[in-house]
Amino acid sequence: MATDNPILQDASMLPRFDAIRPDDVRPGVTQLVQEVAGMLEKLEADAQPSWRGIVEPIERMHDRLGFGWGVVEHLLSVKNSEALREAYEKVEPEVVKLSMRIGQSPAIYRALTELRDSAAAKDLDASQRRILEKLIQAADLSGVGLEGEKRERFRAVKLELAGLSTRFGNQLLDSTKAFALELTEPAEVAGLPNSALEMAAHAAKMAGTPGTESANAESGPWRINLDGPSFMGFMKHSTRRDLREKLYRAYVSRASHGEHDNRPLIASILRLRLEEANLLGFDTYAQLSLSRKMAGSIAAAEKLLEELRVASFEAAHNDLEELRTYMREQGASDEADDIQQWDVAFWSERLREARFDYSEEELRPYFPMPRVLDGLFDLAKRLFGIDVVAADGQASLWHEDVRFFHVRSMDGEHIASFYMDPFSRPSEKRGGAWMNEVVGRSALFPQASGRARLPVAYLVCNGSPPVDGKPSLMTFREIETVFHEFGHTLQHMLTQVDYGLAAGIRNVEWDAVELPSQFMENWCYHHDTLVGLSEHVDTQAKLPDAFFEKIVAGRTFRAASLMLRQLNFGVLDLELHHRFDVNGSESPEDVQRRVAETTTVLPPIPGDQFLCGFSHIFQGGYAAGYYSYKWAEVLSADAFAAFEEAGLDAPASIEATGHRFRDTVLSLGGSAPPMDIFKQFRGREPSTEALLRHSGLVAA
């Protein structure tokens, strides 16, 4: 359909980000919804129980709606504004209603089930049969079997949940950017390394407050925000315990008061999710969620969480006692006796520096982002036989910091592309890091050559921005994050599945989708990889082996504490969605504190409203699924163990194993059950041994 509205462009072209304005959203999405509704009506009238008669038209509808609406959702995440937010909230209900109409269509469901039960089903290949099964399951969970008042109530619940989720994210973003420490005295920034001072002065200048025009690292003023790089830099390095406390209290109370209060939204979301589950015949929302995941049952998920909790709980307590001992040795006995949450990051960093004889700041100059990306792409070439090449200028962008890349096979064939938005922008971009799709691979939308449409991805991080003409100098954690998100991007881009409904990350069970991402993080501890992606910003020297050995030695430093933190989130998530009585006297905050008794070594402080910022489960897709990070980490650690067994210093063996990983985990996407794919790669089912070994917890 020809149109001047960039929201309505064809998915065969890259989005025209330079042309999209908030004013385009309402008319564009309204017309898009009308167009897809027309496709739905035609399909309902003509649906036939065959692959071409029902499955392909479903893919066409989802692709048309998903591309246009996906661009709008993406911009809301990376270029949030009042105008865009208002436009989004006006049209979101219409998109949700249309999605529910498709999911609840009796004519579509009838054609799908008739195809499943017909003689023609035997002619479908295994991938097609899995897609068919998943489409039927999705319809069942969309309430296709509901009638009358129950159907109408289900639709109302889903519509309200979508709006609440959007409000949750917007209020969290507003609350996060509303707070800042405005510091003017050198004593207030004591302990901060120069990189943090430069970033804080730059933030002050960008805020535009009178008197900040000439802000600089040496004399200030300095602005500390609640976005990741600023917050963590201050918590790790500031010697001002009072200011660390102030910043920490602000962080854990985000979106919990005033006009940005998410607490009423949490109560409503939990209540509505339970009602949704009950309408579909489940006792709890967790049962509904697990019905479509690899784990399959709450018991299986909780069994894994408990196994890891037992392995890490006592060790995490030992971590805390070790920290207290070190604090006393440094003359901070009073703080050690009254250790608080805002002390842990600071003293842990001091202990790590003392034990391994290096500071995080000593590492950063070795890791300018351009060199890190070159090293990451070199690794992808060694493992998977691909070339990643810059394609800046070949796509319109939503911000000047965004990069665009092509992925090519070793014979030069273009096989995928991706955008990379690497830096924090707290005024308009939500926190965290993620990968999402622009378009997926599909033979249903062929190129002019007749080959399947190529996948295109978004890779988004919130790393330390470049300051004063220098490149971004990355922390080790930021390197791990880029590797993680690139793993997701690889699974989207390297798929060989031509069915769009199962290509890349589509149709992959949620608790298996973190396998490629967490797998990639392991390479940050591989000598040739890490040294290879280093280059000192001033001297061009490679990372000395002595530093590498210290990084590896420090891998298990406080690993039990870090694992227990993730287990706390996973257990809390399941508890809220499985056992919490939404009509009882216990509040979500009470559940948080109860769960903390067995999953933390320092209980939440009074006023801790962590749930108000728990966007993974109240805004993102991890509701009753946060355990997925640990579930998939078992898979990813075991997958990396295959490379260890092949010999990390044997290039030919690494290449062969890498190609096998590409041909299974990265290529097959959602075309087969994830356990079957894992066993194709590994030759057996996964074991927790590798994860516990990498975490230094085998003895436990």
Residues known to be catalytic = 485
* Structure token digits, residue 303: 């069994």
Helix (H), strand (E) counts: the chain: 28, 7
Q: How far apart are CA 583 and CA 588, in angstroms?
A: 11
Is 404 in contact with 454 (CB distance < 8 Å)?
A: no
Is 427 in contact with 439 (CB distance < 8 Å)?
A: no
Q: How far apart are CA 640 and CA 648, in angstroms?
A: 10
Q: How far apart are CA 571 and CA 307, in angstroms?
A: 12
Q: How far apart are CA 219 and CA 235, in angstroms?
A: 21
Beta-sheet pairing, 414-423 with 456-463: parallel
Is 479 in contact with 367 (CB distance < 8 Å)?
A: yes
* Structure token digits, residue 549: 């050995």
* Structure token digits, residue 649: 């210093």
Among 302, 354, 350, CA closest to 624:
302
Q: How far apart are CA 218 and CA 272, in angstroms?
A: 52
Q: Where are the alpha helices (DSSP H) in 118-262?
A: 126-141, 148-178, 194-207, 228-237, 241-252
The answer, yes or no, to whether the previous bond of 368 is cis (omega within 30 of 0) is no
Q: How far apart are CA 593 and CA 572, in angstroms?
A: 9
Q: What is the DSSP string of 485-519?
A: HHHHHHHHHS-----GGGSTTTT--GGGTTHHHHH
Q: How far apart are CA 124 and CA 554, in angstroms?
A: 51
Q: Is 265 exposed, middle or buried (0-12, 13-18, 19+ CB in 10 A)?
A: buried
Among 160, 162, 178, CA closest to 76:
162
Q: Which amino acid is at 421?
A: D
Q: Which amino acid is at 672?
A: A
Q: How far apart are CA 154 and CA 156, in angstroms?
A: 5
Among 674, 605, 607, 608, CA closest to 639:
674
Q: How far apart are CA 473 and CA 369, in angstroms?
A: 6
Q: How far apart are CA 319 and CA 560, in angstroms?
A: 8
Q: Which amino acid is at 170?
A: N
Q: How far apart are CA 696 and CA 690, in angstroms?
A: 10
Length of the chain: 700
CA dihedral 288, 290, 291, 294 (to 10 degrees): 160
Is 601 in contact with 243 (CB distance < 8 Å)?
A: no
User: Rounded to the nearest 5 degrees, what angle is found at the Cα of 560, between the Cα atoms of 554 and 563?
Assistant: 105
Please give the helix or strand (H or E) that residue 681 lies within, else none: helix 674-682
Q: How far apart are CA 618 and CA 608, in angstroms?
A: 17
User: Rounded to the nearest 5 degrees, what angle is found at the Cα of 615, between the Cα atoms of 397 and 635?
Assistant: 90
Q: How far apart are CA 151 and CA 183, in angstroms?
A: 56
Q: How far apart are CA 77 and CA 434, in angstroms?
A: 10
Cα maximum dimension of the chain: 79
* Structure token digits, residue 240: 């001002």
